[in-house]
Structure 1
Amino acid sequence: MNFGNRAPTIVVLKEGTDASQGRGQIISNINACIAVQETLKPTLGPLGSDILIVSSNKKTTISNDGATILKLLDVVHPAAKTLVDISRAQDAEVGDGTTSVTILAGELMKEAKPFLEEGISSHIIMKGYRKAVQLAIEKINELSVDITENKEDNRELLERCAKTAMTSKLIYNNADFFVKMCVDAVLSLDKDDLDEKLIGIKKIAGGAMEDSMFINGVAFEKTFSYAGFEQQPKKFENPKILSLNVELELKAEKDNAEVRVEHVEDYQAIVDAEWQIILTKLKEIEDTGASIVLSKLPIGDLATQYFADRNIFCAGRVATDDMNRVIQAVGGSIQSTTTDIKPEHLGTCELFEEIQIGSSRYNLFQGCPKAKTCTLLLRGGAEQVIAEVERSIHDAIMIVKRALQNKFVVAGGGAIEMEVSKYLRDYSKSIAGKQQLIINAFAKALEVIPRQLCENAGFDAVEMLNRLRMAHSKGERWYGIDFETESIGDNFSKFVWEPALVKINALSSATEATNLILSVDETIKNKESGSANAGMMPPPGAGRGRGMPMQ
């Protein structure tokens, strides 16, 4: 049989390679992302439910924080992993809105699906979405309110933002207590960089949530201690604090050393020399006038007893993080030698004490003059409860931080989404062609937030959305879901506020993720092998920047 000039079939991909491409592949990826969205939907809002996740090592986590859930779900689908990434990015950048961003991205993909099935090019949809998100962000910036105008009490404004962030969290019933704690924590930081890593969070099992404490300074658990420790004073007012990176232990020089002696006196001289070395160090520390000695390295029993006899408190093996925060709070600097320690190397605070909290003893440094750090001691009945309290506090702290840096806020409870949705619908009517449909689809996708809030609260979503659409068409720009009256209302006047940055970041991330999924029309899955794939040629189309390899 004559094939003419047709080239014979060339096998480029390794046997067992799975290559899928075309419109069906995009729809398949969208379906995977929608499955992730469906998992997170019930957790949205004040009346959202929590999810119990049991990991492979049988560790249980109860949470409704989107980023935490997605991280623990261990998503393997390469397209769905995009949602995990944007949720983590939202958590790192803004701290809150991790569930919203995932639900928005899933809804944007769901709205794009019918267009793809009808044969519209994914690039046209992407172009429409890009235009829509640009208009939406401009509208949010236009609507956002500068909360510092003509208002002196900045703290009250920050507390309102923090309380909104806590509405969907486990600690909502204790919100008034924790809101004050979060705002105190952020305001204690350096105003220039607001580094939230300097807010230490210690979890102590036992007690009620409201037994949690805010320490304007540093607190850390009592370190390993030797005999003589109990004789040391446990409370000081205005002490001098010396921070060291020096080991204060009596060590016989037997490691990797061989000493030959002929007389007992020679051996005694060696022992005396070892004692003399450490006693000299201890005398130099005593001469500095320090009342509290902290060291990253061990402080042995000889040194502990020496300090106890002279009414000096000591703690060895202090964790690096805790030591760094102590320096930030009390001043001074870490010394790596005991010689030539000057007064400016020492720090101070108003009050130091060691107290019992739960089953542990904690060292507290309070009233620190240079306090650019603080510590939150969280209490709770179960380990999972305290872990969720910590995640909730983190979200609220990040929101307060962003509100302090970016003074613009918008109303929550689905209000801003409905207003932007109305604006995009009106805009879409002013243009012709396919873009009209796509921008309208983007506007419809935004309604997923108020709709899901209603469904999770047990309200009639269809009725509520109709009432919201009517209110917004009459110019009620801040109308959203009101959970107290189980109706709709002006959320701005009820102080349901969120930083505009949260909404802008969520919309941008969700649209970017959607466009990324829409741009991938080919997936190549290689069977795991060593270097067999090293010289494999890429299949047709992979060089067009549209392939997404599966790991």
Structure 2
Amino acid sequence: MSFGGQTPTIIVLKEGTDSSQGKGQIVSNINACLAVQATIRSTLGPYGGDLLLLLDIVHPAARILTDIARSQDAEVGDGTTSVVVLAGEILKEIKEHVEQGVSSQTIIKGLRRASGMAVNKVKEIAVNTSEGNKRETLSKLAGTAMSSKLIKRNTGFFTKMVVDAVLSLDQDDLNEKLIGVKKIPGGSLTDSLFVNGVAFKKTFSYAGFEQQPKSFKNPKIVCLNVELELKSEKDNAEVRVEQVSEYQAIVDAEWQIIYNKMEALYKTGAKVVLSKLPIGDLATQYFADRDIFCAGRVATDDLERVIQATGGSIQSTCSDIHPEHLGTCGSFDERQIGGERFNFFEDCPAAKTCTLMLRGGAEQFIAEVERSLHDAIMIVKRAIKNNTIVAGGGACEMEVSAYLHRYADKNVPHKQQAIIKSFAKALEVIPRQLCDNAGFDATDILNKLRVEHRKGNVWAGVDFDNEGVRDNLEAFVWEPALVKVNAIQAATEASCLILSVDETIKNEESAAPQAPQRGLPPGAAQRAVRGRGRGMPRR
């Protein structure tokens, strides 16, 4: 059977399957995203509350917001709350247009146009910081990143630690994974240490360890991927003997092999022997008798950082080790920190790594401190590679919003004008939410900000100290321009994706626990049907 020369596409669905589509489905998806936004918006800014929660988001559209938060964290390292709040507000503002029947494609075109203009405006007004005191600039950026975190009361203490940590890395590569973080319960926050080198917890030790020296000046260090235990020589071996003397010869040979290894290491002149694999009691005592420190089962990342700091290299054999294979450091010692003992390698000549030793009263608290420092470290890292900054406290968003309003009034006469103005209004959610979280009169401060930006005060933002408006560039509330650019782009992409999904097919009977497919929760399948009206069949 055909209609008008075309064969209709018929979808046969299993009984009990729910199919939702069209405008109602888009509105439903938007509402799900707004629920996520409402949950976390109260955490934005220096006066935002700290939530202790675990969100298990199963709605496919709402999970898009968690994805853009992850992408923001991976790309920039900070601004994860901002990007979710902004994406939710964009959807909230354009929800009315969806309900009025405006085509999704029209809205998407308008959002992409507004996003492009907003990004260009941020880049245009951004200030270049390549000239001037580099350390001071990085300290201001790190301080702003920490202002909304749990450690904001100790910003000065941790700002220096973060800047020192990033500047200790190889400036061409800036691999933040070479910044070791050790969490040690006990003490106060200000008992935390910055180690210009490597520190790791004392490894499992055998008898003889206490006889080893625990402090050296300018020692040579050898790093191994070799097991120094007797058992390793007899693994997977089967030998048939007829006389006791033959068995004794095999045992003697095993001992001779390990003694040869230890003697070869002793002859290198190394005073510190580290290995990824176990160093047994025989080797431990052998090294103790010769005033050599050894540690086996050293974690791979710790050993990698020792190599970066001391200039050595990992050896997979104990023979043919040359002086250039050995590392060195200014001082090595073992010290007690809290309830644990740590080995310290400091004053390293090739130091391209460092260690942050974090203290605190509870493990959960220290874990939150680590996350806060990670954001600040990523901000400083991005700032070194990108020298442009903008003012925070809602100043950048208000300036871009004012620009989009002016542009839409003069240059966009058709129906996309309303979409661009909705996008501009959505940008105001950042300063508004900052005011709400601080207990300020958001309506009054936003009106003052609009007036200031109309006068041309580009960096007018929220004054958290005096509940008013100020020039946040002069107040040193700085953020990398990259944070704002990435947040606008990610929020727009998420909004466009949610708008383009207008059909969900869900089979209730398949809700039994099973392995999730394609990243969706068990029992739910989602498909986006696009391009209808352009002659594309529904599949």
Q: Fold-level match, TM-score > 0.5?
A: yes
For 2:297 and 2:146, how far apart are their aligned partners in 1?
A: 36
SS of the residue corresponding to residue 343 of structure 2 reads strand
| 1:209-358 to 2 correspondences below 5 Å | 209-251=189-231, 255-358=235-338
Cα shift at 1:256: 4.4
| 1:138-537 to 2 correspondences below 5 Å | 138-149=120-131, 151=132, 153-251=133-231, 255-430=235-410, 431-526=412-507, 527-528=509-510
**Residue in 1 aligned with 2:14?**
14
Cα shift at 1:267: 2.8
Cα shift at 1:269: 1.9
Pair 269,541 (structure 1): closer, same or farther in 2 beyond 3 Å: closer
Pair 540,102 (structure 1): closer, same or farther in 2 beyond 3 Å: closer
**Residue in 2 aligned with 1:75?**
57
For 1:424 and 1:8, how far apart are their aligned partners in 2?
A: 44
**Residue in 2 aligned with 1:129?**
111
For 1:80 and 1:193, how far apart are their aligned partners in 2?
A: 35
Cα shift at 1:291: 0.3
**Residue in 2 aligned with 1:37?**
37
For 2:528 and 2:434, how far apart are their aligned partners in 1?
A: 42
**Residue in 2 aligned with 1:63?**
none
Pair 215,545 (structure 1): closer, same or farther in 2 beyond 3 Å: farther
Look up the equivalent residue of 2:441 and give its one-letter code. Answer: D
Pick from 102, 109, 128 the counterpart of residue 120 of structure 1: 102
SS of the residue corresponding to residue 52 of structure 2 reads strand
Deviation per CA, 1:228-249, whole angstroms, max 9, x where unpaired? 0011111111100000011101
For 1:418 and 1:543, how far apart are their aligned partners in 2?
A: 35
1:252–1:274 Cα contact (<8 Å) kept: no
For 1:84 and 1:316, how far apart are their aligned partners in 2?
A: 41
For the pair 1:84 / 2:70, whether they are aligned, the reply is no
Look up the equivalent residue of 2:140 and give its one-letter code. Answer: R
2:500–2:528 Cα contact (<8 Å) kept: no
For 2:8 and 2:453, how far apart are their aligned partners in 1?
A: 64
Deviation per CA, 1:315-351, whole angstroms, max 9, x where unpaired? 0000111111111111121111111111111000111
Cα shift at 1:250: 1.6
Look up the equivalent residue of 1:132 and give its one-letter code. Answer: A
Cα shift at 1:471: 1.0
Pair 360,371 (structure 1): closer, same or farther in 2 beyond 3 Å: same
Look up the equivalent residue of 2:64 and give its one-letter code. Answer: T
SS of the residue corresponding to residue 493 of structure 1 reads coil
SS of the residue corresponding to residue 389 of structure 2 reads strand
Cα shift at 1:385: 0.5
For 1:353 and 1:540, how far apart are their aligned partners in 2?
A: 60
Pair 34,475 (structure 1): closer, same or farther in 2 beyond 3 Å: same
2:399–2:459 Cα contact (<8 Å) kept: yes
SS of the residue corresponding to residue 466 of structure 2 reads coil
Pair 141,541 (structure 1): closer, same or farther in 2 beyond 3 Å: closer
Cα shift at 1:51: 0.7
**Residue in 1 aligned with 2:522?**
none
**Residue in 1 aligned with 2:80?**
98
For 1:469 and 1:187, how far apart are their aligned partners in 2?
A: 39
Q: Percent sequence identity over matched residues?
A: 67
Give the length in aligned residue pairs.
517
Moved more, 290-299 or 370-379: 370-379
For 1:220 and 1:39, how far apart are their aligned partners in 2?
A: 39
For 1:472 and 1:253, how far apart are their aligned partners in 2?
A: 76
Deviation per CA, 1:142-162, whole angstroms, max 9, x where unpaired? 10000123x1x2000000000
2:230–2:254 Cα contact (<8 Å) kept: yes
2:502–2:528 Cα contact (<8 Å) kept: no
Deviation per CA, 1:229-288, whole angstroms, max 9, x where unpaired? 011111111100000011101228665444444443333222211211111111000000
**Residue in 1 aligned with 2:521?**
none
Look up the equivalent residue of 1:467 and give its one-letter code. Answer: K
Pair 10,398 (structure 1): closer, same or farther in 2 beyond 3 Å: closer
2:504–2:526 Cα contact (<8 Å) kept: no
Look up the equivalent residue of 1:240 and give its one-letter code. Answer: K
Look up the equivalent residue of 1:420 and give its one-letter code. Answer: V
Cα shift at 1:437: 1.2
For 2:504 and 2:8, how far apart are their aligned partners in 1?
A: 25
**Residue in 1 aligned with 2:25?**
25
Cα shift at 1:13: 1.4
TM-score between both structures, scaled by the size of structure 2: 0.92
Look up the equivalent residue of 2:17 and give its one-letter code. Answer: T
2:505–2:527 Cα contact (<8 Å) kept: no
Moved more, 193-202 or 265-274: 265-274
For 2:503 and 2:363, how far apart are their aligned partners in 1?
A: 44
SS of the residue corresponding to residue 52 of structure 1 reads coil
Pair 253,473 (structure 1): closer, same or farther in 2 beyond 3 Å: closer
Pair 191,486 (structure 1): closer, same or farther in 2 beyond 3 Å: same
2:220–2:327 Cα contact (<8 Å) kept: yes
For 1:519 and 1:543, how far apart are their aligned partners in 2?
A: 7
Look up the equivalent residue of 1:453 and give its one-letter code. Answer: L
1:12–1:539 Cα contact (<8 Å) kept: no
Look up the equivalent residue of 2:422 and give its one-letter code. Answer: A
1:96–1:395 Cα contact (<8 Å) kept: yes
For 1:293 and 1:360, how far apart are their aligned partners in 2?
A: 21
For 2:305 and 2:87, how far apart are their aligned partners in 1?
A: 39
For 2:532 and 2:80, how far apart are their aligned partners in 1?
A: 28
Cα shift at 1:523: 1.0
Deviation per CA, 1:418-447, whole angstroms, max 9, x where unpaired? 010110111111121211111111110000
SS of the residue corresponding to residue 353 of structure 1 reads strand
Look up the equivalent residue of 2:279 and give its one-letter code. Answer: I
Pair 409,253 (structure 1): closer, same or farther in 2 beyond 3 Å: closer
Pair 462,543 (structure 1): closer, same or farther in 2 beyond 3 Å: closer
Pair 255,154 (structure 1): closer, same or farther in 2 beyond 3 Å: closer
TM-score between both structures, scaled by the size of structure 1: 0.90
For 1:294 and 1:210, how far apart are their aligned partners in 2?
A: 31
Look up the equivalent residue of 1:80 and give its one-letter code. Answer: A
Deviation per CA, 1:359-407, whole angstroms, max 9, x where unpaired? 0011111111111111111111001100000000000000000111100
